[in-house]
Chains A and B, each alone.
Chain A
Amino acid sequence: MDAIVEIRDLSKKYTSLFKKRDVLAVDGVSLEVGKAEILGFLGPNGAGKTTTIKLTCGLLKPTKGSIYIDGLEVEKNRRKVLPKLGAVLEGTRNSHWPLTIKENLTYFGNLKNLRGRTLRRNIEHILELFDLQEKADVPVKMLSQGMKQKLAIALALISDPLLLLLDEPTSNLDVKSSRLIKEKVRELATEEGKAVIITTHNMEVAQEICERVAIINKGKIVALDRVENLIHLFSEQRYEFKVQNNFGWEELQKLAFVKEVQYQSNETCNTLTLTFEDTAGLYDVMDILRSKKVIIKSINNKKASLEDIFLSLTV
């Protein structure tokens, strides 16, 4: 893969006067994203997702490591690198509300040194791509939340960057707007060839549009693989037992080859879900259940969702 962005052993430590309060927000993160690829960046609150995004777009200075965009190191080549990336950061409005959509596109295009025919062409293309032509002369303050978010992404694309960084782009959006944003992000990768890194808490978003997912916890990458590989790996290791009678299931948690035990009990049946470190332990579990005279009604290899994987890796 020809990587558009390469992050090598990236670390960020926030230091304070009192060394005990130093915070290692990002710890040795390395990853690559290629052209036309969408990488999902998942992690619990405070895991280091936003810090990594801000380091990548040059908003933060790394403590260690380096970031390359299109072969150029960000820290040493800011002027050349910055037009190659666009960023939509979480919780920010990203546009001037008194100005219209077109005025915002023109202004931010000028900020990125675009002018004349190039700028006009880029604006026309973006208005068409995001279906904003009819609202081009409407002040941003009069747009819906979904339209504002579309505009935020549109502004990040004004310089036709190679890399797009999206920090929680669907947060605070309703279902319809969220679906629209997902479609646009997918189009940007598949049709426009952009490399996209998207951070999100929404597993559905990650599972639907991301090819690969990086899961970060406490500043470290704990998983980095294609979504289907992760789901396949975790699904192989996850079994669901429907059992008739209650039993002391808690002792299964002490088994070395069992990663996680969930037990749900209701009037009709009880469901025991086991995630194995090593699926060879399945037979040992069967022996234990038999010794406890547990009546097994069915055993299924349960397909893991990205949410299950995320929770299992970040607890």
Chain B
Amino acid sequence: MNILFLLKAEIVREVLLARRYLFEAIVSLIMVYITFMGIYFAVRKLAIGGDDISIASYQLVGFLLWIFAMSTIGIFSDEINASALVGVLEQIFVSPNGLLRFIICKAVSRTLIQIIPLVTLLLILLFSTGIRLKLDLLAITTILSLTIAGFYGLGLFFGGLALLYKRIGPVTMMVRGALLFVTGAMIPIDKFPAFLQVVAKLFPMTQGLIMLRKVTVKGDSLWALIQNGDMSILIINSLIYLTVGLATFKVMENLSRNKGVIGVY
């Protein structure tokens, strides 16, 4: 029960901060829109793979999931550093719920809040580009939720590193960049060399992206994805990331406590 109230407290805080920094949120959304429109027109102009709107559909889904992945994975390390900078990390650590519960509730609350601008962006992009997607809400929600679990796992891994080593910006930037190119966000992975396809499938975003494209562009049903084994791969992939992420976070938390560096910035 306590964790639900903690989640509610984080949601309330996120909403308050979003209202206080509304200008920044709107500008960020505009920048993301402009970035995608730039990519969209460049791709259509260059007619990569033919001037086929279905390529653009693939890219829209890939781009949006990448945006979502970038912000979700970064929540953990960003929040730890921000809390240390503001000076409240130590207070959070000595609260009865502890740091891990706090950071997970923070991630969930921010993910929920982010859905609103992302859906808004999706609708604007669909209108601007003429792209048509099949929006099977049950399938999309299920796939996204499982994919997010994998993002959280990777995020917890980086969060743990941030707790002990503080400045891990270059590492997270590198991974965030890799997610754009290696997971098939812009170019489908079946165009990659064989070894790179294997590497791509190890990333937490790849399987979720393949499945989202099958649902939104090709029109596959959730049941079809369960039957063909795609869902099992996604579940296993996300579980592994989540397990490794949680374990790493706890180990780093203990080490930080031993070394006395929690809250040091």
A binding-site residues for B, Cβ under 8 Å? 12, 14, 51, 54, 57-61, 78-79, 82-83, 85, 87, 89, 91-99, 103, 106-108, 110-113, 115, 155
Contacts and interface: CB of A to CB of B under 8 A. Distances in A.
Contacts, number: 88
Contacts of B93: 58-59
Nearest to A93: B87
Given A14-B260, A59-B93, A82-B95, A92 B6 contact: no
12 contacts: A89-B90, A94-B88, A97-B86, A98-B21, A106-B9, A107-B9, A107-B13, A108-B95, A110-B5, A111-B91, A112-B96, A155-B91
B17 A108 contact: no
Interface in B55-98: 86-88, 90-98
Contacts of A95: 87-88
A112 B95 contact: yes
B259 A14 contact: yes
Nearest to B255: A61
B167 to A, nearest CB: 19
Contacts of B12: 106-107
B159 interface: no
Contacts of B5: 110, 113, 115
A61 B258 contact: yes
B95 A59 contact: no
Interface residues of B, number: 31
Contacts of A113: 2, 5-6, 96-97
A93 B95 contact: no
A99 B94 contact: no
A118 to B, nearest CB: 12
Given A98-B17, A111-B9, A79 B96 contact: yes
Contact of A54 (B9, B16, B91, B260): B260
Interface string B251-264: 00010011110110
Q: Which 3 residue pairs spanning A and B have beta carbons closest together? A: A92-B87, A110-B9, A93-B87
Contact of A96 (B21, B88, B259): B88
B20 interface: yes
Nearest to B21: A98
A113 B105 CA distance: 14
A169 to B, nearest CB: 14
B114 to A, nearest CB: 19
Contacts of B36: none
B102 interface: yes
A82 B263 contact: no
A87 B93 CA distance: 11
Nearest to A84: B96
Given A51-B260, A98-B20, A111 B95 contact: yes
A108 B98 CA distance: 13
Contacts of A58: 93-94
Contacts of B87: 91-95
Contacts of B91: 87, 92, 94, 108, 111, 155
Nearest to A99: B16
Given A14-B259, A96-B88, A107-B9, A57 B17 contact: no
Contact of B86 (A14, A89, A93): A93
A57 B94 contact: yes
